[in-house]
Amino acid sequence: MKVVLFGATGMIGQGVLRECLLADDVERVLVIGRAPTEREHVKLREIVHKDLSDLSAFEGDLTGYDACLFCLGVSSAGMSEEAYRRITYDLTLSAAGTLAKASPGITFMYVSGAGTDSSERGRSMWARVKGKTENDLIAMDGLNAYAFRPGLIQPLHGARSKTRLYRVAYVVMAPVLGGARWLFPRQITTTEQIGLAMLHVARSGAPNRILESPDIVALSSS
């Protein structure tokens, strides 16, 4: 299996990359991002490109891939709807469209979030934008798309947020998260579980196009 990974330097992407490199049936991982991962592995190839909204120059490098794990995203805090949409919707749909042409039928897994608004009409700006992103990915020709909606995520195996405030928060919350996962094992996911669930969907698909935290946890162990 050959996979493309976006957002490999973020917290979720770090965990997903780890699981891809560990999986025996993943023979190649192409990471596309604005900054290098600074990792070396026989399976790993990287394309560093500042403008991820336009991948036309690399379309020839995107042929023959089975799955795309799209872990790229930003917080909506302090952003206008236009700016947030440009990154969350426009960039994602552009990348998906390029992949759909280069590798028709590719399984595209988009990391969305718990509380996303599929109606696209709710009061929450980020939830509307993510809802439209999910809907248009699932409807796109040439794409076999799934939306992952994790809620609270526990970083494992050294995965760290790029945002300092979040890093501090995760350190403070680490003991609480461990206990909460024991009490509510299907409601809190880990970076490892997200990676394992994505690989399961890449291999075998999933019964639903939108996968909430309990679905992610279940798929990660199946």
197, 220 in Cβ contact below 8 A? yes
The strand order across the sheet containing 143-149 reads: 44-48, 28-33, 2-6, 67-70, 106-111, 143-149, 210-212
Residue 164 confidence (pLDDT): 58
Residue 127 confidence (pLDDT): 97
Domains annotated on the chain, with CATH: 2-220 (3.40.50.720)
- pLDDT tens by residue, the chain, 222 residues: 999 999 999 999 999 999 999 999 999 999 999 999 999 999 999 999 999 999 999 999 999 999 999 999 998 989 999 999 999 999 999 999 999 999 999 999 999 999 999 999 999 999 999 999 999 999 999 999 999 999 989 888 887 766 655 555 555 566 666 666 666 666 789 999 999 999 999 999 999 999 999 999 999 998
Q: How far apart are CA 133 and CA 156, in angstroms?
A: 28
Instruction: Give rounded-to-5 percent helix, strand, coil for the chain.
Output: 45, 20, 40
Cβ neighbourhood burial of 22 (10 Å; 0-12, 13-18, 19+): middle
SS3 149: strand
Residue 175 confidence (pLDDT): 67
